[in-house]
A and B are shown apart, each in its own frame.
Chain A
Amino acid sequence: GQNIDQPTEMTATEGAIVQINCTYQTSGFNGLFWYQQHAGEAPTFLSYNVLDGLEEKGRFSSFLSRSKGYSYLLLKELQMKDSASYLCAVRRDSNYQLIWGAGTKLIIKP
């Protein structure tokens, strides 16, 4: 079957760093996405990894290890506005259908 696992909820302090992990088991792999979703809103794109390694984009970085079926999203210099759910999604093939994790709710405290 298809399975994507993320922690349900995490708490971090403003200004700190947090790492959100995602593990996946899918029949095929053609890229992994991270999206941010604020309550009641649609997801917004954060990052896309298809090759192993770290992709850095400002305060956000995403890492992928295909052999381990593992990715993480690293958020630095946390701000209160980063409080949101972070969704990991895997694309299995050349079709653009995504398999979604349940999301990790990130709570930022002052």
Chain B
Amino acid sequence: GAVVSQHPSRVICKSGTSVKIECRSLDFQATTMFWYRQFPKQSLMLMATSNEGSKATYEQGVEKDKFLINHASLTLSTLTVTSAHPEDSSFYICSARGGFSSTEAFFGQGTRLTVV
């Protein structure tokens, strides 16, 4: 199957700083990428959907000025958590669709963010 690489896998940052998470499709062009957040023992919550070259569509309740998403190319999308606070600590996962697959979206490995 197609490979989606997410980096970093773990990050610890101080409260008030910003963190950038990268999501890359390694062997296909991702026309659409999704960003999820998952709290312990809970399901994946969609944060936003981004299409290459256009602004991301955010889900209700997600602050677009706090979670900046850039999908500048067909192989890279980034999520920047700005002015991070401890409540932003979570598992962030990206997924991408495109290429030869007509059904599934492929997931990155996830990023465990801890804000101290």
| A99 nearest CB across to chain B (Å) | 8
A87-102, CB < 8 A from B: 87, 95-98, 100-102
How close is B32's CB to chain A, nearest CB, in angstroms? 6
Chain B residues, Cβ within 8 Å of A87: 43-44
B105 and A42 contacting across the interface, CB-CB below 8 Å: no
With A96-B34, A97-B46 in contact, do A33 and B108 touch (Cβ < 8 Å)? Answer: no
Decide: B107 and A103 in contact? CB cutoff 8 A.
Answer: no
Asked if B109 and A45 make an inter-chain contact with CB atoms under 8 angstroms apart, the answer reads no
Main secondary structure of the interface of B (DSSP, over half): strand
User: B107 and A101: CB pair below 8 A?
Assistant: no
Residues of B within 8 A of A41 (CB): 109-110
For the complex, what is the distance from the CA of A103 to the CA of B104, rounded to whole Å? 18
The distance in angstroms between the C-alpha atoms of A19 and B30, with both chains bound, is: 34
B93-A42 in contact (CB<8A): yes
Per the bound structure, the CA–CA distance linking A96 and B107 in Å amounts to: 13
Residues in A neighbouring B112, C-beta threshold 8 A: 40
Number of interface residues of A (CB under 8 A): 18
Is the beta-carbon distance between A97 and B34 smaller than 8 angstroms? Answer: yes
A102 CA / B1 CA spacing, docked (Å): 25
The interface bits of chain B over 83-116 (1 if a CB of A lies within 8 angstroms of the residue's CB, else 0) are 0000000010100010000011111111010000
Closest B residue to A43 by beta carbon equals: B107
Contact: B108 with A42, CB < 8 Å?
Answer: yes
Chain B CB within 8 A of A60 CB:
no
Q: Which residues of A contact B32 (CB under 8 A)?
A: 96
A102 touches B42 (CB 8 A): yes
Kindly name the residue among A41, A42, A44, A95 whose own CB sees the greatest number of chain B CB atoms within 10 A. Answer: A42
Contact of B107 among A40, A44, A48 (CB under 8 A): A44
